[in-house]
Amino acid sequence: MIEVLLQHAPVEKLAAHFHDTYGQALANLHAVLQCGVSVIDSSVAGLGGCPYAKGATGNVATEDVVYMLDGMGIQTGVDMDGLLQAGQFISDFLGREPVSRAATALLRKRAG
């Protein structure tokens, strides 16, 4: 899809937005990064959803995106510690578990 879009719009005008319903958001983000897309939407603790797609989960978690980009050597300027705190705060406030795999692993590692 990105390759077709690139025939009609410059890559600087494109952004990626994925939900993680089937656990494919990071793989999809990796693919669009390889096509040159550098603007990525994400959501702290994976909050959000899609009212149009029954059963859809939240947006890809910012914590997971930042962890992946860091592992790829891509500078984001995002403070992971602050991000983890924000995700934990809003998840506690909403009474729900964070859906970020990276946040879950990093917080367990720090606690244990």
Percentage of the chain beyond pLDDT 90 is: 71
Question: In this structure, are residues 102 and 64 in contact, taking their beta carbons and an 8 Å threshold?
Answer: yes
How many C-beta atoms surround the C-beta of residue 76 within 10 A? 14
Question: In this structure, are residues 84 and 107 in contact, taking their beta carbons and an 8 Å threshold?
Answer: yes
Cα–Cα dist 100/98, whole Å: 6
Containing domain of residue 62, as a range? 2-104
38-76 pLDDT, tens per residue?
999 999 999 887 767 777 777 899 999 999 999 999 999
- Whether 81 shows a pLDDT value over 90: the answer reads yes
Establish if 111 belongs to a structural domain. no
Q: Can you give the pTM of this predicted structure?
A: 0.90
Cα–Cα dist 31/48, whole Å: 23
Give the domain CATH number at 65: 3.20.20.70
Q: How many domains does the chain have?
A: 1
Catalytically annotated residues:
50
